[in-house]
Structure 1
Amino acid sequence: MQCLPWLLGAGSHLASTSVKPQDLLRPVSPLPVNFVACQLFALFAAFWFRIYLSPGKTSPDVRHALVTIFGIYFVIFCFGWYSVHLFVLVLMCYGIMVTASVSSIHRYTFLVAMGYLTICHISRIYIFHYGILTTDFSGPLMIVTQKITTLAFQVHDGLGRRAEDLSAEQQRLAVKVKPSFLEYLSYLLNFMSVIAGPCNNFKDYIAFIEGRHIHAKLLEVNWKQRGFHNLPEPSPTGAVIHKLCMTLVSLLLFLTLTKTFPVTCLVDDWFVHKANFLTRLCYLYIVMQASKPKYYFAWTLADAVNNAAGFGFSGVDKNGNFCWDLLSNLNIWKIETATSFKMYLENWNIQTATWLKRVCYERVPWYPTVLTFFLSALWHGVYPGYYFTFLTGILVTVAARTVRNNYRHCFLSSRALKVVYDVVTWAVTQLAVSYTVAPFVLLAVEPTISLYKSMYFYLHIISLLIILFLPIKPHAHIQRQPQTLNSVNKKKKD
């Protein structure tokens, strides 16, 4: 669950030494002007880049250079001298890229990138005393950290591992030649994604710059059977307009709902001491719903910027429609209709979930769920609320998986039972998510404990009881392992 900290908007001035954790719960301020201005300018620049600097008219080096220059300018415009942290991290990790052995490049890069990010996160608490800076540079630093580590693992896969030891996806994304300095800077600092992401794969990005991105996806479809003699040229204009409409709706909801139901309500005396449990349950859900539009706004706008530049084409759906969701960070419909905790997480901050899967979940030999949640919390920052959320998330994930494995099959015998099951699991999922992510926006220990006390820690208790008394089926860990050529050949021999 990626947080864009500069969008949390907890204040309009630098924190002083007298700021208390509770002070973080002041009403949400408007979206930062610099952020919105940069993204809108990036949108127009993206259209210009696609039309006038297309691969057929401009060399890849020129395209790399221009997107990098724009990206660096945007970062400096938004974050001033704090942007130095971004450039320092990029240069340090490129040094590792060119000097480290391919057998250990991913480890060194991961440790340096995550270590530097964590130091910056810690400084925001212990130096600025829980203050939210108006020029909070941690958001772009988090995005760059994802990209740096993603590329390092893909270089390691391409140059440091045997092909038969890779999964099909790892083979497809493996980078077999180390990037040049210009390619490295362009991938990490391009103006389309440097401010708000999302993370993407290096090979996809290079194919976009070189003009192979769309045709590579179209070649997967047999166009002659569809009556085409030449590959079509899909236009992103329709997708961009659709996403901009979603962005506008999200912005309107953010400006209305978030002010009507601010997170401060969750620590009010009325909520904590006077409201009954059912009222608290419903009100918590409403407040958490009201906190979503700012993420919908930021991520959908970022997606539209990339599409406007011609990046993000994902292929053709079963109805023959062109899809521009390669870089989409969320699926709002599936989020709001999710019937399981897993389905909700898979459609919320999709690119971060993919990054966690590729650098942690698929690669660690022990406790993949626990370590993935811990990495997610560490990547987000060091506010205590993040760890409350992710520790609770581990419990809820295991409990939800256990219930689903034990009882879901009982409701598949008829359509009526399946409808009942879907309605109940939808309600439970939405309430569980609201309960779990509340500390994520509360941030500090005191308001989190106050909230959970008022809710009687009900979800923690229920989840623990489920884990203790229902049988946990062990096949989930086996299913998570990516199939390599070696594992496939072994199965054939068996």
Structure 2
Amino acid sequence: MEANEADGIISFIARSIGAQENAVRLLTSLFLGYPFAFFHRQFLHGKAAILQHLYFISVGLWICYFNFGFAVIHSLANILLIYVLLVTVGGTQLSVGLALIGNMSYLLYGYLLPKDTDNYDISWTTPHCVLTLRLTSLVFDIYDGRRKQNNAKLSAEQESTALDKVPSLIEILGQTYYFGGFMVGPQFSMRRYLDFVNGEFSDKITGGPPASVKPGLSRLVLGLCYTLLFQILSVYTPDSYLTDPEFLNSTLLYKLLYILIWGRVFLFKYNGCWLITEGACLVTGLSYNGKDKNGNDLWDGCANIIPYYCEVGDTGQKLIQGFNINTNLWMAKYVFKRLKFLGNKDLSQLCTLLFLAVWHGTNSGYFINFCLEFLIIKCEREVGSVVDLNPTLHAIHTSKLTYPIIWFIKRCCILIGLGYALIGFALLDFDKWLTVYNGTYWLPFIIYLTVPIWKVPLKVIFPPVKSRQNGEQNHNTDKQSKTE
């Protein structure tokens, strides 16, 4: 099929479903991951690593060109810069600092280029977000490997990804352009990729490809469901309606209910994309993650979403744990935990969210989104400590009789809160999200910012009881919170 014919088909599909051409191209690239994955299973699994690297490089470069044309040069240039850095000063603190500055600077350069619209555009910076984190973590992992050689104590998490030598350029290119993770993620370490191409995830009995087709196709089906739901429901919940005079002049209750529903629909497109690309990773076998306690294979090594948490989670912490998992784990491992020297958990989290906002882009909407996310999590911890330490509140919260009602109330509140945060993420422009926030009287911000005030009478009415049992329970809660 010639390029003009392919462009014509993409344009026809985009017009037919009312979508942008670049979005159709991206989704087409994700679907193409399945024939590419089955080809790898059939002809390249268990073959020499060099053949697999070359396959992933050629396919990934084609996908990049199919979506962004000659802008493929940006990913190649960034990879070469990091490779030169690694072979010259790799394994040092200097390499880590230069990688962070260099990778983020290149990404920000892309963000600052003129855009066609004020809305989010799918451009070469879309996969470059993924590339930025992947190359940065590679430098960190080699630094950890050098520390390990010098008898420094690493965490179990750092041990699992530390590298004792700089990978070859072809290995770095193969990991980068692996079709299952190039466009929208997920993040996965070089250690995982090398284990994969070296056959570590093969079927232990036959030595052939792992039994991962069924779980892979199940993720494809689920991803399709999310994608179809978004395409259907987004017609009735457009982003533009948030700034429409009809919405702004409606009642506050109506606005909050719309934000709740709109926020859920808005995230469906991300859920769909991540599930579809995860399925391709599963088919190849990259997602292997050991065995559970019953000896069954685990296939969640590249999972970027836990649908159960997304659909029934009643706290911001649960929803965050189930959404964009690998990016959140990356931020925790390479930013949050590395800021331990600050000596303040809230400050470390705030710096991490600031980094996350800049990584997404320079628009003010990203910053207001993650600012509110920080306040939501902090509010949950503050109120949660009061509930956990008071026997009456704790009993009501855990009672089988009252739990469904409490769950429904909490679920609605958190969906409104996170939906409110997503307004900035979706509208991006300062004037747009400010108009919506003014129209809703900044209500969630007022609630979350005044927690220190209304927490005082709450503790007076429901004072903490420092019994042995409750003390142990609070200790366990703090321990779990630190883990998360």
TM surpasses 0.5: yes
Of 191, 199, 204, the residue aligned with 1:203 is 191
Within 2, Cα distance between the matches of 1:338 and 1:481?
A: 19
More displaced stretch, 184-193 vs 371-380: 184-193
Show the counterpart of 2:246.
Answer: 270
Aligned match of 1:89: 78
Residues 390 and 354 (structure 1 numbering): CA distance in 2 closer, same or farther, change over 3 Å?
Answer: same
2:92 is paired with a residue whose SS is coil
2:103 corresponding residue in structure 1: 113
Which residue does 1:38 correspond to in 2?
29
Tell me which residue corresponds to 1:447. 432
* 1:98-128 deviation line (CA, Å, top 9, x unaligned): 1114222222111111111112112245xx5
Matched, 1:436 2:427: no
Per-residue deviation, 1:319: 5.0
**Match runs of 1:385-424 below 5 Å:** 385-410=365-390, 411-413=393-395, 414-424=399-409
Distance in 1 between the 2:206 and 2:212 partners?
Answer: 19
Partner of residue 332, structure 2: 357
User: What amino acid is the match of 1:461?
Assistant: I
Superposed displacement of residue 165, structure 1: 2.5
Q: Is the 8 A contact 1:124 1:130 kept in 2?
A: no
Give 2:126's aligned residue: 139
Which of the numbers 311, 321, 342 marks the counterpart of 2:317?
342
- Decide which of 164, 167, 171 is 1:176's aligned counterpart: 164
SS in structure 2 opposite 1:116? Answer: helix
* TM-score normalised by L of structure 2: 0.84
Following the alignment from structure 1 to structure 2, what is the Cα–Cα distance between the partners of residues 174 and 420?
47
Counterparts in 2 of 1:419 and 1:40: CA distance versus 1, 3 Å: closer
Instruction: State the secondary structure of the residue aligned to 2:362.
Output: coil
**Structure 2: distance between partners of 1:233 and 1:323:** 15
Gaps of 5+ in 2: 1-10, 12-17, 460-473
Distance 2:402 2:264 in 1: 28
Counterpart contact for 1:389–1:437, Cα < 8 Å: yes
Cα deviation code 1:390-437 (max 9, x no counterpart): 112222221122111222454443433444443332222111111111
Structure showing greater relative contact order (alpha-carbon pairs closer than 8 Å, 6 or more residues apart)? 1
Q: Specify the code of the residue in structure 2 equivalent to 1:371.
A: C
Q: How far apart are residue 468 of structure 1 and its match?
A: 4.8
* Aligned residues of 2:119 and 2:427 also touching (Cα < 8 A): no
Could you list the per-position Cα deviations for residues 58-97 of structure 1 after superposition, in whole angstroms to 9, with x for gaps in the alignment? 1111111111111111111210121211111111111111
5 Å matches for 1:5-84?
Answer: 29=20, 32-55=23-46, 58-84=47-73
31 and 89 in structure 1: CA distance in 2 versus 1, 3 angstrom threshold? closer
Compute the displacement of 1:357 (Å).
Answer: 0.6
1:212 is the counterpart of 2:200: yes
* Separation of aligned partners in 2, 1:382 and 1:465: 28
Change over 3 Å in CA distance of 1:131–1:385 after alignment to 2: closer
Gaps of 5+ in 1: 1-11, 13-26, 219-228, 483-494
Aligned ranges 1:239-278 → 2 under 5 Å: 239-273=215-249, 275-278=250-253
What is the letter of the counterpart of residue 416 of structure 2?
A: L
| 1:267–1:481 distance in 2 versus 1, CA, 3 Å | closer
Q: How does 1:269-288 map to 2 (within 5 A)?
A: 269-273=245-249, 275-288=250-263
**In the alignment, which residue of structure 2 is the partner of 1:330?**
305
- Do 1:42 and 1:305's aligned partners in 2 also have CA atoms closer than 8 Å? yes
For the pair 1:156 / 2:143, whether they are aligned, the reply is: yes
Q: Quick check: which one's helix share is greater? A: 2
Shift of residue 375, structure 1, vs aligned partner? 0.7
Q: 1:31 to 1:331 in 2, by over 3 A?
A: farther
Q: In the alignment, residue 78 of structure 1 is paired with which amino acid?
A: N
Q: How many residues were matched structurally?
A: 439
State the shift of 1:330 in Å: 0.6
Task: Return the alpha-carbon distance in structure 2 between the equivalents of residues 358 and 317 of structure 1.
Answer: 23
TM (normalized to structure 1)? 0.82
Q: Please report how far the alpha carbon of residue 193 of structure 1 lies from its aligned counterpart in structure 2 after TM superposition.
A: 1.4
Work out whether 1:299 is the aligned partner of 2:274.
yes
RMSD of equivalent CA atoms: 2.7
Structure 2: how far apart are the matches of 1:321 and 1:478?
29
* CA contact 1:60–1:209 (8 Å) conserved in 2: yes
CA 1:474–1:398: 2 relative to 1, 3 Å: farther
**Structure 2 counterpart of 1:206, one-letter code:** L
